[in-house]
Amino acid sequence: MDRIVRIKDIAEKANVSTGTVDRVLHDRGRVAEDVRRRVLRIAEELNYKPNLLARALVTNKTYTLAALLPDPAADSYWQAPKDGVEKAENELKQYGVRVEQYIFDPFDPDSFSRAAEKVAATTLAGVLVAPIFYRQSLAFFNTWKRQGIPFVLFNTHIPDYEPLMYIGQDSYQSGFLAGKLLHYGCKAEATFVVAHIEEDVENSSHLIRKEQGFKDYFAQHDPDGRYRVLSSDLRRSESHTIAQQLDRLFQEEAGIKGIFVTTSKASVIADYLHQRQKGQISLVGYDLIARNLHYLDNGVIDFLINQNPKGQGYWGIHALADHLVFGKKSNPIKYLPLDIITKENLQYYIGADS
């Protein structure tokens, strides 16, 4: 095991005090140029590595972060990233990290803008944000970049604005995977549906990427044109329920064999298929929320792709702490695994920590 090099070791070899070495290594205070060069040369020779954890503990500096999160009361999916944020904050409190949560309605872009405006008006060290509303997010990215505030994205990747990091799945590849899952076992001609439920798809870049990945799978694996892919934007209105819209879809498209739900709302389709006794329809969706698990266990949902939402919140806060507190450099993208969950392996994921 390599011996840990201490500041005292450098001081003894350079024939200076530990205080002088500390000033050189941390670039604070005045030190003669020849002494500075000698200390740095010896530190390099000894392969000195600073104890970042110890340094963070003694600085007594507070780093206030903002977590801009969708409201779990409006969509239970968002409880997991909120839990991840709180777990990370609890672990990092000893290093001066504090997290202020700004909650917005995931179905209301104006709610996002109001919450983001509060963030922009506050003095913060960094921001974690789920930019599910593409258009509304861009102006705030520009503001934070202009102010020099690092921001980390989770759930939705918008690379053009150079966030410190994106944490989440590769949306395109997850859509591609969903196509592969529905294709398996399907020998005859079939129609597959990409279902967006209660979403503003044009303002949701991650959903567009998922749909494109799904379509590209069949474009690459269907040279004979045996499979059709349809996109369906399902939203409740005063005149039509989602069930009525699905009734019309099945009347118009008799060859539907599988449905890919691009969000955590696969249970909405599963409930419809169960009530209409359409057990021959394969169904793929996302996320281990209670209603989805019920239908996965009952065999109505065939596969769930786990997006590890708790891990997204957890690692997002850690990414900001690594940058601000510990001075660590990280890759700009942290893709989380595309876990395929079935009834048979579900038990190994329930309760698993981030």
**Same domain? 187 vs 209:** yes
Domains in the chain, number: 3
Please report whether residue 348 resides in a domain.
no
- pLDDT on residue 60: 66
- Measured over the CA atoms of residue 50, residue 53, residue 56 and residue 60, the dihedral's sign is negative
Write the pLDDT tens digit of every residue in 209-266: 999 999 999 999 998 889 999 999 999 988 899 999 999 999 999 899 999 999 999 9
Write the pLDDT tens digit of every residue in 266-301: 999 999 999 999 989 999 999 999 999 999 999 999
Please report whether residue 277 resides in a domain.
yes
Task: Evaluate whether 66 touches 100 at the Cβ level (below 8 Å).
Answer: yes
Q: What percent of the chain clears pLDDT 90, i.e. is strictly above it? A: 71
> At residue 306, what are phi and psi to the nearest 5 degrees?
-85, 120
Of the candidates 185, 74, 180, 152, which has an alpha carbon nearest to the alpha carbon of residue 319? 152
- pLDDT on residue 1: 43
Confidence tier at 54 by pLDDT (50, 70, 90): low
* CATH number where 327 lies: 3.40.50.2300
Please report whether residue 252 resides in a domain.
yes
C-alpha distances out from residue 133 to 138, 140, 158, 347, Å:
9, 12, 11, 34
Q: Report d(CA 154, CA 164) in Å as an integer.
A: 11
Please report whether residue 1 resides in a domain.
no
Write the pLDDT tens digit of every residue in 138-177: 999 999 999 999 999 999 999 888 899 999 999 999 999 9
Q: Whole-structure pTM over 0.85, yes or no?
A: no
Please report whether residue 349 resides in a domain.
no
DSSP string, 332-352: SEEEPP-EEE-TTTGGGTTT-
**Same domain? 151 vs 204:** no
Q: Per the structure block, which two tokens stand in for 30?
A: 């005045």
Of the candidates 240, 302, 300, 253, which has an alpha carbon nearest to the alpha carbon of residue 276? 300
Please report whether residue 150 resides in a domain.
yes
Q: Report d(CA 60, CA 56) in Å as an integer.
A: 8
Residue 55 pLDDT greater than 70, yes or no: no
Burial of residue 176 (number of CB atoms within 10 Å: 0-12, 13-18, 19+): buried
Kindly give the pairing relationship between strand 190-197 and strand 63-70. Answer: unpaired
**Same domain? 177 vs 301:** yes
**Same domain? 118 vs 17:** no
> At residue 75, what are phi and psi to the nearest 5 degrees?
-150, 115
- pLDDT on residue 143: 92
Q: Report d(CA 309, CA 70) in Å as an integer.
A: 12
**Same domain? 100 vs 154:** yes
**What domain range includes position 33?**
7-50
Q: Report d(CA 243, CA 234) in Å as an integer.
A: 9
Please report whether residue 353 resides in a domain.
no
